[in-house]
Amino acid sequence: ELFKEILILSCNTFPSNPMNSEFQAQRASNPSPEIDGKIADHEDYLDLLSQKISSAQTHLVEASENLTKGIKDNVGSVNDARFAIEQMMQCAEQHFKETAAQIEQLNAARDEALMRARQLELRPVVPRDEFQRVLKKLAELEVELEEEREKPIDVEKRSSTKANRKTMKVPHDHLLAELEKENFETDDSFVEDDVDKDPDWRKTPQPSRRTKKFTLMSEDIQINGRKRSSADSSDVKCQCKTKCQAAYCRCKKNDAQCSDSCGCKPEKCENRNNATVTRFFDEEKVALAGQAKKMRTE
């Protein structure tokens, strides 16, 4: 009986109250549904551990009673009693060690559960009023967004925008007149140039080639109600760098002679009142004659 009481007292070392009064007061002052739910889960786990401990204590008591009963039935002498007591003490010691280890593990699990509950309680939580205010603001913004989506488009504003775009467009006739004016003011001395007969000819850059397509049509363009013709040759001034005998010379093209107002060089120009005039086809004949003479001598 004394051994039974010792076992019962050693197994009752597990405390019955899982939380102190201070912790309960803090929970009541600052309630939180999320934390309360987690704490309730830990409390249920602690209750389960307590039930397991009680069950272990019951099995231990039953085992000790069965052992004592078996000893009483089988012991017939003092030596048998001594041997039975030794075996009982060994079994009791083994059961006591196993039970103590289980109690230690359960106490560690209990302390860990209490620590987690304490951490959850001390974790900063957004106030419930502020959370409700944010939800309300979000609902208002969603309503405003739906109203903006369902709002009809202002047709008058849209039509005025299209009208402004139309007024910003430049008329096609105006652009054509500006283009004709630019083509009329360009230099026509580059029209119908014979590259094989011109010793000073160089390839025209790409941008100038594009403008040349417009200058080819400049003679037939009407500006201010009249066409450009050879009658306007008095205002023509060439800017040649050679002898003014090529087809691109303005004065030569309009059957006019170069004057002092032209940009050509007088010492090179042969389209003035000079006695000597050299043309490309004359130079070509002289060159052919020189080649024929050279062949005869050879």
Spatial separation of the C-alpha atoms in residues 32 and 276, rounded to whole Å: 117
138-175 per-position pLDDT tens digit: 888 888 888 888 776 655 555 566 555 555 555 555 55
- Report yes or no: 201 and 195 within 8 Å, Cβ to Cβ: yes
Is residue 157 one of the residues assigned to a domain? no
Cα separation, 34 vs 121, in Å, equals 10
Task: Indicate if 6 and 112 belong to the same structural domain.
Answer: yes
Helical spans, DSSP H, in the chain: 2-11, 21-29, 33-74, 78-122, 128-150, 155-168, 172-185, 206-215, 250-253, 280-297
Domain assignment present for residue 171? The answer is no
Boundary of a domain, candidates 111, 127, 143: 127
- Residue ending a domain, among 92, 107, 127, is 127
| 188 in the same domain as 113 | no
Residue 57 CB neighbour total at 10 angstroms: 18
**Number of folded domains that form the chain:** 2
Domain containing 285: what range? 177-212+233-290
In tens, the pLDDT along 199-247 reads: 666 666 555 555 554 454 454 444 334 444 444 445 668 888 888 888 8
pLDDT of residue 51: 83
Same domain, residue pair 101 and 202? no
**Residues 196 and 110 occupy one common structural domain:** no
Examine the domain organization and report whether 121 and 181 are in the same domain.
Answer: no
Q: Is 133 helix (H, G, I), strand (E, B) or coil?
A: helix
Would you say residue 98 lies in a domain?
Answer: yes
Q: Do 185 and 279 lie in a common domain?
A: yes
- Whole-model pTM: value is 0.23
Domain co-membership, 123 together with 10: yes
Least confident range of 14-23, 55-64, 115-124, 128-137: 14-23
Q: Are residues 30 and 114 in the same domain?
A: yes
* Whether 122 and 208 share a structural domain: no
